[in-house]
Structure 1
């Protein structure tokens, strides 16, 4: 009996010890978990605080109002040429200089659009072309278009603010603002006109807009649901507007539908980042009154500018190993492929993409060596 009692006592003691040990281990684990939670929460709070400080330095957050802001954009003046190198153009006149502001952005159609527009502007005397390109660096291909035209020009790299990079609106505002800033600091007189790179414009309109005293307006074709956007004229004065999207705007007009005398460009003139209201808010910021508007294009009965648009081209990726087509035998073809890539019309990749075929005598080949 004593032995049995002793054994039972040992078993009870062991169970008690084992239970106490498990409790101790459990308590230790719980304390470790709680400590980890506290450290984790503190780390999250610290990271959040540091992020807010970092964003504040960038200008994204303003701690005084906690309002979201856009990151300040640094525009880059790429090149300015005041020389008119068009031999056939006689610029020895008293005509007012037209400052033709063109916002643009990199895409496969960019260079064809600018090339086409340049061949219109090459026929216009006393014009200075201001191109503001939506990218952070100066584009060589854009500069080449400007130089080949022979037109006096200003080339600006004006990237869209970071806040608007997630979508494509509002379009061209950063570019136009950059161009306006350059004009304010460098120009005292002349005519300001916003012309997109895909617009089509009659040469007659340039001669008419030079007569602008404050703000002139005229119809724009191929725009909106009415096919045209224009002021309505009564007794030689603007009596209203014909536009398919009124949008609660004071001046419901298209960007290509007005010109401004630079002497009337006040210090308060600005263009907001509000999609659809860029034109209206800009004209309102000038202090413009409806009775001040000067109708052109035969009292707004002629359409001399059109908001044409080029069909979007889906940029392909071609699987081509350029190092395999070097040498004099394939030099011309290699140069063509490089030019296509340079102008942004195709991406050349040695490892992925569409594998192009060569056609000769109604047959297709995968390699140039098969036919050359």
Structure 2
């Protein structure tokens, strides 16, 4: 279509614009001459009626809009709690701001929950025939537990996930969210998770590079944030959220307990820091305080494995967050969902039983086996075995580092070349 069909609009000016133009004219030549010219122009060419009306109309529209915006901000600041104001980005009041600043919880730690979730594989099919000696059809009315497991590549990763899976195999109505801290998907892990038959979602969620050099680094935060984003994207409001690390030990009774959660349930965790335990203090069936050897100003000094949250309750708080601040992840997450002491439901026989243990496997460096590559063929099992261990991140082979691999026979060590040739 020809450009002739489009006619440019003449610029329109308001009363304020005209007055500003007149002031600038006064600065460049005599105001008397300018005034005379203006008077003559006005008399011969009166301003277009839409010019004046537009300027007045805009002023009349802007005044109530500005007033309304100021009223809304003032209302939010005065009526919302400090934690909610923090989540909304309105500021948390002097007390909260001072407290957060003291602990280094700045805007970078509180960045909005807008993670990019990359799904490697997932399955919603439950291929387990029996759980706890009952067919899965008998558990159809139970709410689903969304079990979030942050993990990262290391020598112990696959063994610990395997051990955890054999606990979860006994838990009905569970969806396992496995969030791996790496850039690319691990095909071996996909195969492993499919083999268990548990409904699962495997995603990768690497820690932002800016935090990797911190000591201690906020390990597991990006993983959990990605899982929270997945729950949000699926608009899930029915079920229970639980953060379960891959190196913990779980009593099967824990899952029956947390499935009753109405808002937020809590329970003690064993093997935590100096006291060997962290958990709520309960009086007359109500949580009144917390026992933990590292308080550090935390309002909710609990372990990540020590609470469960109803998705229906969490859905009321669209600004759910978890900060990149080691030691404060639980505290600020619970603040972001508006937790109050009277909302906490004590579990584990009024918090007298340990149903989850913070066991940790001592991490070691990747194993190295010095072996000539020509012997990694099908003349023995070693080629396939060491290949699988490399995929798991447990051990690797080399031709140049360390001692040659030794193989024993009849109690005597021999070079591998003697046995495999």
TM range (shorter): 0.7 to 0.9
Is residue 282–residue 288 contact of structure 2 (8 Å, CA) maintained in 1?
yes
Residue matched to 1:109: 156
Aligned counterpart for 2:366 among listed residues 294, 315, 334: 315
Distance in 2 (CA, whole Å) between partners of 1:211 and 1:346 is 43
Is residue 179–residue 226 contact of structure 2 (8 Å, CA) maintained in 1?
yes
Distance in 1 (CA, whole Å) between partners of 2:419 and 2:238 is 63
Q: Quick check: 1:267 aligned with 2:296?
A: no
Residue matched to 2:400: 351
Tell me, what secondary structure is at the counterpart of 2:350?
A: helix
Tell me, what secondary structure is at the counterpart of 2:296?
A: coil
Change in Cα spacing, 1:261 to 1:73, as seen in structure 2 (3 Å) is: closer
1:130-279 equivalences in 2 (<5 Å): 130-167=177-214, 168-186=216-234, 187-265=236-314, 266-279=317-330
Is residue 317–residue 354 contact of structure 1 (8 Å, CA) maintained in 2?
no
Distance in 1 (CA, whole Å) between partners of 2:130 and 2:189 is 23
Q: How many residues align?
A: 303
Question: Once the two structures are superposed, what CA deviation does each residue of 1:187-212 show, in whole Å capped at 9, x if it has no partner?
Answer: 22100000000011111110111110
Tell me, what secondary structure is at the counterpart of 2:298?
A: coil
Q: Could you tell me the TM-score, scaled by structure 2's length? A: 0.69
Tell me, what secondary structure is at the counterpart of 1:170?
A: coil
Distance in 2 (CA, whole Å) between partners of 1:163 and 1:74 is 17
Question: Once the two structures are superposed, what CA deviation does each residue of 1:296-326 show, in whole Å capped at 9, x if it has no partner?
Answer: 0011011100000012122232222222342
Change in Cα spacing, 1:279 to 1:68, as seen in structure 2 (3 Å) is: closer
Distance in 1 (CA, whole Å) between partners of 2:204 and 2:403 is 32
Change in Cα spacing, 1:297 to 1:68, as seen in structure 2 (3 Å) is: closer
Is residue 117–residue 229 contact of structure 2 (8 Å, CA) maintained in 1?
no
Is residue 76–residue 137 contact of structure 1 (8 Å, CA) maintained in 2?
no
Change in Cα spacing, 1:371 to 1:81, as seen in structure 2 (3 Å) is: closer
Unaligned runs of 5+ in 2: 1-106
How much is the aligned-residue C-alpha RMSD, in angstroms?
Answer: 1.8
Tell me, what secondary structure is at the counterpart of 1:355?
A: coil
Is residue 114–residue 145 contact of structure 1 (8 Å, CA) maintained in 2?
no
Change in Cα spacing, 1:190 to 1:270, as seen in structure 2 (3 Å) is: same
Question: Once the two structures are superposed, what CA deviation does each residue of 1:18-72 show, in whole Å capped at 9, x if it has no partner?
Answer: xxxxxxxxxxxxxxxxxxxxxxxxxxxxxxxxxxxxxxxxxxxxxxxxx9899x9
Higher mean C-alpha displacement, 106-115 vs 260-269: 260-269
Question: Once the two structures are superposed, what CA deviation does each residue of 1:153-207 show, in whole Å capped at 9, x if it has no partner?
Answer: 0101000000012245111000000000001111221000000000111111101
Change in Cα spacing, 1:68 to 1:201, as seen in structure 2 (3 Å) is: closer
Aligned counterpart for 2:136 among listed residues 91, 115, 120: 91
Is residue 200–residue 308 contact of structure 1 (8 Å, CA) maintained in 2?
yes
Residue matched to 1:42: none
Tell me, what secondary structure is at the counterpart of 1:309?
A: coil
Cα deviation for residue 350 of structure 1 reads 2.3
Is residue 84–residue 151 contact of structure 1 (8 Å, CA) maintained in 2?
yes
Tell me, what secondary structure is at the counterpart of 2:375?
A: helix
Cα deviation for residue 371 of structure 1 reads 6.5
Aligned counterpart for 1:82 among listed residues 119, 124, 127: 124
Question: Once the two structures are superposed, what CA deviation does each residue of 1:112-154 show, in whole Å capped at 9, x if it has no partner?
Answer: 0000000000000000000000001111222223112110001
Moved over 3 A (4+): 67-70, 72-75, 368-372
Q: Could you tell me the TM-score, scaled by structure 1's length? A: 0.78
